[in-house]
């Protein structure tokens, strides 16, 4: 059975910035009627179990780690961006997830 779609929000402590991103993304997904995506937040030290997972996009609230070998975006707009920037970032994340998932 294939793993479902996942958006993994990652920050240094797994508490503040990644949780903020998770909440904004969940709000956007709900507004768009998208209900088949799991959004989780995690501390950078706890993400190795997700390495190599299919159907996943990483939202990096820290520096992007190219060795993690997963499609990702820089997510600091969730913290310091305008409402428009946050919406555009959500659109970018969903588009990237659809590309990864073939849909």
2, pLDDT greater than 60: no
Q: Give the pLDDT confidence of 24-74 residue by residue, as tens digits.
A: 999 999 999 999 999 999 999 999 999 989 899 999 998 888 889 899 999
pLDDT given for residue 15 in this prediction = 75
Cα angle 51-28-97, degrees, rounded to a multiple of 5: 35
Domain ranges of the chain: 1-8+22-48+73-102
List alpha helices for 4-60, DSSP H. 17-31
- pLDDT score for 38: 96
pTM (2 decimals)? 0.93
If 0-12 CB within 10 Å is exposed, 13-18 middle and 19+ buried, where does residue 48 land?
A: exposed
pLDDT in the model for residue 69? 86
Q: 4-15: per-residue pLDDT in tens?
A: 999 999 998 767
């Amino acid at each position: 059975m294939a793993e479902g779609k996942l958006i993994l929000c990652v920050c240094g402590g797994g508490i503040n910035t990644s949780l903020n991103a998770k909440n904004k993304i969940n709000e956007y997904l709900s507004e768009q009627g998208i209900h088949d995506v799991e959004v989780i937040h995690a501390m950078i030290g706890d993400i190795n179990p997700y390495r190599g997972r299919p159907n996943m996009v990483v939202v990096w609230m820290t520096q992007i780690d190219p060795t993690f070998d997963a499609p990702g975006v820089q997510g600091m707009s969730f913290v310091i961006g305008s409402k428009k920037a946050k919406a555009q970032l959500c659109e970018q994340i969903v588009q990237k997830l659809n590309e990864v998932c073939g849909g």
